[in-house]
Amino acid sequence: LLIYIVIFTGIAIWRYEHFLFNESGDLLLFEQVIYNTVHGRPFYNNFSKQNHFGDHNSPMLAILVPFASIFPVPYVLYAFTGLSIAISAIPIFLIAKESLKNEVNALILSTSYLILPAFIGRAFLSFHEINLVLPFISFAFYYFVKEKIYLFITMFIMGLMVKEDVSLTFFMFAVYAFIKKREMKWYVIPAALSISWLLLSIEVII
């Protein structure tokens, strides 16, 4: 995972420094939002001339700010993308190891996950806040499988904080729990959290 993060963050930074990146709109948008936050204008978006929370409810972006005060913002954005993808492979490996009863096959499966073209593209083409949700979704699923409700809810809530529309994805945990005939708490709590976060985001914050 460390090699993966170093390689793809390195490629991304090299491409950035040589003007070889595509789909730069989101990269530039988030670069200035984080840069403005570091320099005393919290989450200000120069494109829409308002706070970023006027467009999207993304409090998870705050975790980038301390690092952006030390390193160039694009480097931080690319590093966190690589980090998010890499960390999300850990529960994939753990679930596969338990299901397949074979560590080598689990390693092959989780490595295949890491080199999916969609993730390789995310690692160095641009940046979007949605990249940060990957580890929270995969760990939430892991704790769902292990039936550890408190850790599941913790990952669930942290995942919701990435962006308002991920609540629609996380709502599917409630559907899945209902299909699996889990106890009521496994589908009532996720459904309530997802709907509440979406309504709070759209009707109040944005």
More confident residue, 120 or 106: 106
Give alpha helix (H) positions in 101-165. Answer: 103-114, 117-124, 134-145, 149-160
pLDDT band at 119 (very low <50, low <70, confident <90, very high): confident
pLDDT the model gives residue 121: 82
Contacts of 74 (CB under 8 A, 6+ apart): 13, 16, 27, 31, 127
More confident residue, 23 or 33: 33
Let me know if 27 is exposed, middle or buried by CB neighbors in 10 A (0-12, 13-18, 19+). buried
Mean pLDDT of 151-167: 97
Contacts of 202 (CB under 8 A, 6+ apart): 164
Structure tokens at 93: 């490996």
| Amino acid letter, 127 | F
Q: Are 32 and 46 spatial neighbours (Cβ–Cβ below 8 Å)? A: yes
Q: What is the mean pLDDT of the chain?
A: 93
CA separation for the pair 162, 93 (Å, rounded): 23
Query: What 3-state DSSP class applies to 51?
Result: strand
| Amino acid letter, 60 | M
For tokens 């889990």, the residue is 182
Mind listing the pLDDT tens digit for each residue in 76-111? 999 999 999 999 999 999 999 999 999 999 999 999
pLDDT the model gives residue 126: 76
Q: Enter the pTM of the model.
A: 0.92
Does pLDDT of 124 surpass 90?
A: no
Does pLDDT of 203 surpass 70?
A: yes
Q: Are 97 and 106 spatial neighbours (Cβ–Cβ below 8 Å)? A: yes
Does pLDDT of 184 surpass 70?
A: yes
CA separation for the pair 157, 170 (Å, rounded): 9
pLDDT band at 23 (very low <50, low <70, confident <90, very high): low
pLDDT the model gives residue 82: 93
